């Protein structure tokens, strides 16, 4: 507990059974005089135990209660075996312990043989009590004093509530335990109780005195700390009484109100003038009653300069609520004069720069009006503040003036986007936005680039959004992709055609080489040079044919790949093109084993088939892609099947048989007729199968089977 008394420990006060620490004689001084000799509260228990032993009791001890932890431990003991002391250690919450029960009742009790001692013991609880009110209670004329309440025992004493409501002092609680001899009379127990109560009265007085001493020492420490804080302040601080006499001031205040050691007539007059001005300011503030701030001009006694201060005063009150003085803190505001002059100068500069700003604003408005992209300026509530002519066509002049349904729809989309951007953490943001052009009556995709303008508090005041029309860019991008794919198809077709020609030429070239080899021994000597030329040129033609075959030969390495992954990547790449022509994509991809394939070539196959399906649905439609695993009869081999179906225009029946031949197309001049030819070649190189079925006006289905083998 916070105010726990310091007492001698059991080890320090323990004595063997032979004799006490002091010689016991027949002419002992009365216990009252011995207890009066105690100067500290911690001396009471040792003296009390010695007096108890002197009365003829075998053993005695005192146990102390710690209110902070709830522990009950021996504080002093005399003639008590050390090994038995632990049995008297307990806690307030252990209600089954004999000591706890007696302490809770706060009444003395005789305990026969118990679990803590095998002889009868007398337990006398003691708490802080006194017949007289404490100084605080007497000063405020109240009977709410813990010492009086404990003495009268007007209500049950709760150990955990031993705090005085008047002085906030934490009291103490303890118990004296005495081993009783075999024949103990009631009178002897009464005398023992009186002795213990007498010791408790002396203990209460010493305890209260120590409380006052500790509080006084704490106040001195607090005063010293406050003095240190006061002296460390750079501003002058003055503490005055009710007569405006200075009680305390820091070093900063002494510079203005204290005469220095090296006195001159000018310094003395300056200090006197400062004190006179300060007293007048305090009197004026006291008379006004409400004005606690006052400007005060003082003279620096050392520098001899005038300084302007803002004096802030606050009254100080005693415990009884009566004002006992005033604390004044003076803040140097001399620099404010310079700041005021600088503000005036800056104001003149700002007035001169206002025209420049106006010109810049006019130039900015001119730039905004002539930019080729719509520009929208909105406030923090996503309301349109400023638009250029192109943006006015999309949204109207303002949020309130929009009348066209398309403009209202565009404003709602813009408000949702600007609101989300305003409350986000990003200072800039780029996002796609689809808006309806009221004039062309068509939806246009824009690239919205937005930025924030902050006010002086760091809050978003305006947002600026520039909308860039992506229609032309998308068309150029699409044309580039289609042109590149066309070039790839032409290159692949050219390579394959060259390889086919080279293959056909290679067979007769091998026969010619064999014939030349057989003629080696039958050539006349005069024809040998011609024979050698024929042989070398034939070998050169064979090398050229082999190089043409190697130009088309696939060099990509095959590896196990999941076909579903290639399908998903292809759809992700072509998704924007399909959405632009309103093609709805549906996938049904079942778990597949890995197929040993060239991933890029299969991706080229799928891209060709998906783009063909898109071209067959110019007004939109459905694209369905399914994947299945077809197990083989031996459960070792099998097939990965991919179906690509569209709801397009279909293929004429007369073209079904020749659709996979080169230069056969259903797209007219837009197609090369090489795409499906290349697709079939890639599938055949993978030992796969490719088939097609179609109905004119209903759609087309391509089926791809790739071999797989369980590893």
Distance CA 190, CA 206 (A): 24
What is the per-residue pLDDT for 247?
82
CB 277 within 8 A of CB 296: yes
Task: With cut-offs at 50, 70 and 90, classify the pLDDT of residue 10.
Answer: very low
Domains 10-216 and 233-332 share a fold: yes
Task: With cut-offs at 50, 70 and 90, classify the pLDDT of residue 355.
Answer: confident
Task: With cut-offs at 50, 70 and 90, classify the pLDDT of residue 18.
Answer: very low
Q: What pLDDT, in 10s, does the model give residues 298-311?
A: 887 777 778 888 88
Going along 571-675, which residue ranges are E strands? 583-589, 595-597, 621-631, 637-646
Please state the rounded mean pLDDT for residues 403-431.
Answer: 85
Q: Is the model more confident about 205 or about 162?
A: 205
CATH superfamily of 10-216: GAF domain (3.30.450.40)
Which of 195-209, 324-338, 684-698 shows the lowest mean pLDDT across its residues?
A: 324-338
Q: What pLDDT, in 10s, does the model give residues 488-538?
A: 666 666 666 766 676 667 667 777 877 777 777 777 878 787 777 777 777
Please state the rounded mean pLDDT for residues 610-632.
Answer: 90
Buried b (16+ CB within 10 A) or exposed e, 520-559: eeebeeeeeeeeeeebeeeeeebeebeebbeebeeeeeee
Statement: residue 28 has pLDDT above 50: no
What is the per-residue pLDDT for 235?
85
Residue 521 gets which letter from DSSP? G
Statement: residue 446 has pLDDT above 90: no
Statement: residue 471 has pLDDT above 50: yes
Lookup: tokens for 441: 């009556």
Q: Is 63 exposed, middle or buried (0-12, 13-18, 19+ CB in 10 A)?
A: buried
Lookup: tokens for 670: 């837009």
Statement: residue 539 has pLDDT above 80: no
CB 134 within 8 A of CB 164: yes
Closest CA to 688 of 707, 703, 675: 707
Please state the rounded mean pLDDT for residues 272-279.
Answer: 84
Statement: residue 568 has pLDDT above 80: yes
Q: What pLDDT, in 10s, does the model give residues 136-173?
A: 777 777 777 777 777 777 656 666 677 777 777 888 88
Residue 311 gets which letter from DSSP? E
Which of 37-51, 338-352, 544-558, 614-628 shows the lowest mean pLDDT across its residues?
A: 544-558
Phi, psi torsion values for 653, nearest 5 degrees = -60, -35
What is the per-residue pLDDT for 113?
78
Phi, psi torsion values for 28, nearest 5 degrees = -65, 145
Lookup: tokens for 163: 């705090």
Statement: residue 135 has pLDDT above 50: yes
CB 74 within 8 A of CB 89: yes
Fold of 474-552: Helix Hairpins (1.10.287)
Three-state secondary-structure class, residue 538 = helix
Task: Tell me whether strands 583-589 and 595-597 are parallel, antiparallel or unpaired.
Answer: unpaired
Statement: residue 409 has pLDDT above 70: yes
Mean pLDDT of the residues in the chain = 80
CB 433 within 8 A of CB 445: yes
CATH architecture under which domain 559-709 falls: 2-Layer Sandwich (3.30)
What is the per-residue pLDDT for 22?
37
Task: With cut-offs at 50, 70 and 90, classify the pLDDT of residue 8.
Answer: very low
Q: Which residues partner with 96 through β-bridges?
A: none
Compute CA 234 distance to the chain's CA centroid, rounded to the nearest angstrom: 38
Task: With cut-offs at 50, 70 and 90, classify the pLDDT of residue 134.
Answer: confident
Q: Is 634 exposed, middle or buried (0-12, 13-18, 19+ CB in 10 A)?
A: exposed
Task: With cut-offs at 50, 70 and 90, classify the pLDDT of residue 25.
Answer: very low
Statement: residue 342 has pLDDT above 80: yes
Lookup: tokens for 691: 């088939």
Distance CA 560, CA 544 (A): 35
pTM for the full predicted model:
0.40
Lookup: tokens for 215: 């509080």
Q: How far is CA 355 from CA 348, 358, 359, 553, in A?
A: 12, 5, 6, 75
Instruction: Select the highest-mean-pLDDT range: 147-156, 267-276, 316-325, 525-534.
Output: 267-276
**DSSP annotation string for 372-403:** SS-EEEEETTS-EEEE-HHHHHHH-SSTTT--
Distance CA 328, CA 279 (A): 11
Closest CA to 201 of 4, 28, 35: 35
Distance CA 356, CA 364 (A): 12
Q: How far is CA 457 from CA 229, 328, 425, 461, 549, in A?
A: 34, 34, 16, 10, 74
Axis-axis angle for helices 563-580, 599-615 (nearest 10): 30
Domain boundaries, the chain: 10-216, 233-332, 395-469, 474-552, 559-709
What is the per-residue pLDDT for 184?
80
What is the per-residue pLDDT for 707?
92
What is the per-residue pLDDT for 344?
85
What is the per-residue pLDDT for 673?
66
What is the per-residue pLDDT for 645?
94
Terminal CA-CA length for the chain: 79
Which CATH entry fits the domain spanning 233-332: 3.40.50.2000, 3.30.450.20, 3.20.20.370, 3.40.50.10490?
A: 3.30.450.20
Statement: residue 177 has pLDDT above 90: yes
Please state the rounded mean pLDDT for residues 63-91.
Answer: 88
What is the per-residue pLDDT for 290?
61
Closest CA to 592 of 619, 558, 609, 568: 568
Closest CA to 313 of 217, 415, 237: 237
Task: With cut-offs at 50, 70 and 90, classify the pLDDT of residue 653.
Answer: confident
Lookup: tokens for 89: 């250690």
Residues 6 or more apart from 154 whose CB is under 8 A from it? none
Statement: residue 14 has pLDDT above 50: no
């Amino acid at each position: 507990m916070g105010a726990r008394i310091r007492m001698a420990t059991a080890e320090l006060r323990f004595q063997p059974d032979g004799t006490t620490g002091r010689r016991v004689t027949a002419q002992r001084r009365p216990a009252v005089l011995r207890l009066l000799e105690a100067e500290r509260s911690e001396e009471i228990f040792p003296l009390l135990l010695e007096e108890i032993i002197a009365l003829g009791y075998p053993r005695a001890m005192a146990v102390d209660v710690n209110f902070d932890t709830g522990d009950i431990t021996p504080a002093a003991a005399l003639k008590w075996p050390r090994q038995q002391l632990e049995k008297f250690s307990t806690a307030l919450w252990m209600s089954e312990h004999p000591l706890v029960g007696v302490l809770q009742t706060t009444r003395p009790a005789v305990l026969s043989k118990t679990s803590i001692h095998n002889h009868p013991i007398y337990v006398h609880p003691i708490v802080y009590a006194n017949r007289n009110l404490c100084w605080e209670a007497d000063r405020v004329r109240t009977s709410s004093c813990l010492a009086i309440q404990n003495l009268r025992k007007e209500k049950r004493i709760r150990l955990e509530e031993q705090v005085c409501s008047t002085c906030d002092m934490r009291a103490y609680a303890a118990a004296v335990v005495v081993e009783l001899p075999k024949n103990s009379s009631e009178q002897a127990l009464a005398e023992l109780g009186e002795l213990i109560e007498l010791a408790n009265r002396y203990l209460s007085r010493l305890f209260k005195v120590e409380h006052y001493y500790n509080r006084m020492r704490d106040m001195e420490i607090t005063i010293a700390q406050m003095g240190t804080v006061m002296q460390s302040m750079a501003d002058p601080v003055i503490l005055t009484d009710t007569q405006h006499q200075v009680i305390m001031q820091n070093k900063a205040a002494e510079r203005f109100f204290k005469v220095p050691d090296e006195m001159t007539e000018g310094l003395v007059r300056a200090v006197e003038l400062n004190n006179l001005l300060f007293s007048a300011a305090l009197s004026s503030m006291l008379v006004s009653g409400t004005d606690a701030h006052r400007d005060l001009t003082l003279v620096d006694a050392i520098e001899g300069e005038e300084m302007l201060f803002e004096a802030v005063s606050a009254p100080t009150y005693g415990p009884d609520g009566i004002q006992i003085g005033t604390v004044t803190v003076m803040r140097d505001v001399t620099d404010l004069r310079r700041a005021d002059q600088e503000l005036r100068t800056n104001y003149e500069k700002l007035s001169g720069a206002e025209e420049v700003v106006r010109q810049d604003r006019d130039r900015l408005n001119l730039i905004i009006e002539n930019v080729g992209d719509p520009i929208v300026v909105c406030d923090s509530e996503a309301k349109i503040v400023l638009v250029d002519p192109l943006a006015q066509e999309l949204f109207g002049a303002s949020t309130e003036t929009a009348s066209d349904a398309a403009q209202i729809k565009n404003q709602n989309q813009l408000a949702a986007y600007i609101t989300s951007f305003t409350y986000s953490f990003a200072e800039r943001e780029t996002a796609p936005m689809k808006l309806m052009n009221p004039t062309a009556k068509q939806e246009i995709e824009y690239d919205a680039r937005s930025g924030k303008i902050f006010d002086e508090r760091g809050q978003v005041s305006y947002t600026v959004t520039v909308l860039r029309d992506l229609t032309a860019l998308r068309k150029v991008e699409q044309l580039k992709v289609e042109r590149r794919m066309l070039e790839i198809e032409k290159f692949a077709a050219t390579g394959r055609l060259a390889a086919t020609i080279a293959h056909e030429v290679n067979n007769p070239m091998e026969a010619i080489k064999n014939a030349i080899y057989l003629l080696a021994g039958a050539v006349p000597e005069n024809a040998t040079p011609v024979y050698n030329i024929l042989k070398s040129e034939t070998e050169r033609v064979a090398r050229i044919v082999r190089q043409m075959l190697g130009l088309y030969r696939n060099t990509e390495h095959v590896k196990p790949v999941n076909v579903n992954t290639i399908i998903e990547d292809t759809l992700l790449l072509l998704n924007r093109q399909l959405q632009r022509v309103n093609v709805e994509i549906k996938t049904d991809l079942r778990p597949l084993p890995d197929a040993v394939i060239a991933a890029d070539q299969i991706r080229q196959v799928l891209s060709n088939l998906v783009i063909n399906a898109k071209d067959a649905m110019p007004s939109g439609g459905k694209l369905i892609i399914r994947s299945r695993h077809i197990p083989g009869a031996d459960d070792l081999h099998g097939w990965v099947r991919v179906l690509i179906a569209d709801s397009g225009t279909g293929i004429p029946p007369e073209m079904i048989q020749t659709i996979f031949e080169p230069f056969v197309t259903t797209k007219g001049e837009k197609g090369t007729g090489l795409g499906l030819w290349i697709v079939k070649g890639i599938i055949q190189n993978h030992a796969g199968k490719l088939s097609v079925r179609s109905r004119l006006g209903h759609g087309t289905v391509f089926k791809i089977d790739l071999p797989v083998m369980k590893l």
